[in-house]
Structures are given as C-alpha cells and as structure tokens.
Structure 1
Amino acid sequence: MERRDARGHYEELAAEYDEHWVYGPDYVPWMSGRIVEALRLRPIDRIADIGSGTGLFAKEVARQVQPRRPLLCVDPSEAMLRRLGTPPPPDLTPIVASAEDIAEQRAHLPYEQLDAMWLKESVHHVADPAHTLQGLSDQLAPGGRLLVVMLPATIQYPLFKAALDRFEELQPNPAVIERHLRAAGLQAELTHVEHELRIGRDRYLGMVRARYMSLLSTFSDNEIEKGIEEMRIAHPEPVLVFPDRFTFILGQRRGGNT
C-alpha cells in the first residue's frame, strides 16, 4: 500500500481542488447552508474553518452570514490557502496552521476566543482526535459551538471495492468523536444530512484518477487504474447518481446567550 502524508496530498491537489469538490452548482451552497444552520452562525460571531483548504465552503458561509469580523481559514497547506486569492477577500483571513497547531496554541489567532468553528472532513487527519478536540474546545467562548462534519462509517460512493473497504478500515467512528466532544466538556449531539449527487461517469473517474479523496492517495497508480476499470464495468451508466450522507457532530460550551 502506497501512503502519502495528508499535507503533501493537498499540496499536489491544490490547483484543481475546487474543480473536484464542486460536484454541481448547488452542492457548495447546500453544504455551507447546513453548516450555517447547525452552528447557528450570526454576523457578530468570531468564526474559524479548521482545515479550510481553498476556502471553498468558508467563502460561501461568509457570503451567507456576512460576518462583521473576518472568518478565519485555517489550513496547514500554503498552496491551498493561496487559492483564496492575492490578496484574500476582506471577509476571510488565511492562517497557515493545522488543527493541532490551533489546539496547542502554537499558532496565533486574531481573536482571543471563538464563537464558532467547524472541521469538515478533516478530523480523520488528526493523529489524536481526543486531545485535539479538547484543545479546540478550550478556545470556545461561553456558548461557543464546534461542529465536526464527517462521512459516516460506511459510504455508498461508486468507488472500487478496495477503496470502499479501506475507507471503512480507516474512517473514525462518529460516535467516538461525539464522546470526545462530551469529554471536552461540551454538550454534544449527532445528526445526519444527505444530498443526492449526480456526476458524469467520465468526470467522476477523472476525479478518482486525480485522487480527489485523501483516501485514494493510499493507492498506487497501478491500483488506481485497476480500480477505475472495475468501476467502468460496474457502472456503465453515463451519469452516476448516489447519496452523499454526512454526520454532523455539534458540541456547545455552556454559558452565553446562544
């Protein structure tokens, strides 16, 4: 099995990241809207997107919320953050740091405390989720909210079997993440949201070849090509239709007026 570090994977993918993740015109607004609703975001909130990548969702959240102070886009990949623009939009502030850097207070934030933060599909990159989520929770203001958005333990993507098997092997259990938030002193709840995806088969095969999911970076080029051939046989239809189901784990610090 070929493994690459997550930071290197995203450095390579940065230039075409948005192309792979904008499944359709309604996907980013839909997901961003669910994040806004779950976190009950307000213009007065001090907000951070931990593991923001190119800011794909942060940009849309900022458009919907119109925050009075810049939304923090935190990511360890400078290449990804450069996709915010030069200079970045005035309502977004890039910060080159990992979730662990923020949790350990090794990175300087312009806000003393945060009212809301989210981690979308990045908690599986964290080596010690319990410790990191505790450190992130400690930086919440009274009433502050922390949202972990992750795929469930199993997915119904039209991937090749070895990729689906490896996903189940590597994916953290959402119930465990919920317990970590409770252990960090937050009130926590777990819910699900679902969105139907329709993607042209050839486009999706190209996304797999480009390793749009970090999971796919654990496969060699030869394994990817064999997997794509398996997918071609299993899915002759020109448009792939499948559910994109997410687990939302929301933690809230007691106190405040939220």
Structure 2
Amino acid sequence: MILPNWPIQHRVSALSTTRLEGYSAGPFDSFNLGYHVGDSIAAVDSNHQRLREYLPRPAQWLEQVHGAQVFSVTHRTVCTPWPKADALYTRIAQQPLAVMTADCLPILLANEQGTEVAAIHGGWRPLVQGVIANTLRLFDSSAEQLYAWLGPAIGPSMFEVGSEVKAQFCAQNAAHQNDFYPQKNGKYLADIYSIARRQLARSGVVQVFGGQFCTVSQSELFFSYRRDGQTGRMASLIWRN
C-alpha cells in the first residue's frame, strides 16, 4: 500500500494499492481489484477481501464511465449495482470511497477538518469535462481549506496523445499549453499531474501533494493499461476517521 504524506493523515485515512501481494495470476498478477478485466472472479474476490482488512467498513465503488458525474454518498448502505460516475463525495465518517485506475490519475480530496472527503477518477476525459470542478462544488469548505493528493498515474514522459486532446484542454484554459510537449511525430507528451494541479489551482486548491509515480515505467509496482493492454486495476481510497 502507498499512503499519502500530507498534513491531515491524523484526520483522514487514505491509500493506494499496488499490484503486489494478491491472488491473481498473470497478466493480472497479483493484487487486481477489477472485476471487468477478464481475471478470475474468485481471485478478484480474494483480493477485495484482503483489501477489506485495511478498511473500517465496505467501500463504495463506481462503474467508471470516463465522464464528469459525481456520486454523493449519503447513507452507510453501499449502493449496488455500483453507480455510474467518475467521482465520489461523502461526509459520512468511516465510509471509504474507492476509484480504480491503471494509468488514469486518482485524486483524493479532504478538507482541513477531515469532515468532507472525495475520490476522483482523473482520466483525461473526466478532467477535460470538469470532474474536479464538479466535485469541489459539493464541498461546504472553501477551496483554501482543501487538501489534494495525486496518486499513481502515467508519468509525463509516457503519456503520448494527439493534438485533439491538447486542443480540448487548451480550449478550456489556454495555460494548459504548458502541460503538453511536442514530439517529432506530430503528437504530444501530456503531463496529467500538471493538468490536475493547474485545474485544482484554478479552483483555489493549492495544497496539493503526491504525483511522483509513473504506472507505465514502474512495472514492478503498478498495472498499466497503456503498457500491457490486458492488465489489472489498482484502487485509491479515502475515508473520514
């Protein structure tokens, strides 16, 4: 497990899983938490059960659709089937919120008091559609009181995209020009960590931590869809203490 190093860890709990120490066989070896990737259901069940050992109660999961919708968790009963959305928010104590990734950026949010938390699946499509801003609107706390942690995602030297992706971000904010680096083949390397930091800052969130991993190049630690195609999924979770 990877634990955020941020000033509010005594008020909220959070973690990101790695691919290590699970029950799945290759190419999902070994701590795959995704039921939708072709892995053995029994192995995924065992991995989820192992994750539960770290949690105060069952987590709320999502059917992630690469959009900008946010699901607000208002009751302790976990919603099944999983809601179709790309972010979760709650004020309920000890209710874990979970997002799955294998290159996309997990973003965990909490206010300074630890009374509001959120988890975002920050793929480039949710980001360009405004999933961060949509999530922040649910917080009662001001943006200056919020902390963000950026979990493991594809690094800036590995995320090659077409000009159409850059154009969508730059149409939203011209400053995103600085988050894309031209390549000789006419494409760009995108820095998804920088994109998220810029969007958070534009909304007033400046206390941002994490963002030092690369799921593609750190193959011993992380699943990567871009690197492997068929692969497992990690999870990032947050809850109020």
TM superposition score normalised by structure 1: 0.31
Larger Rg: 1
Higher helix share: 1
TM superposition score normalised by structure 2: 0.33
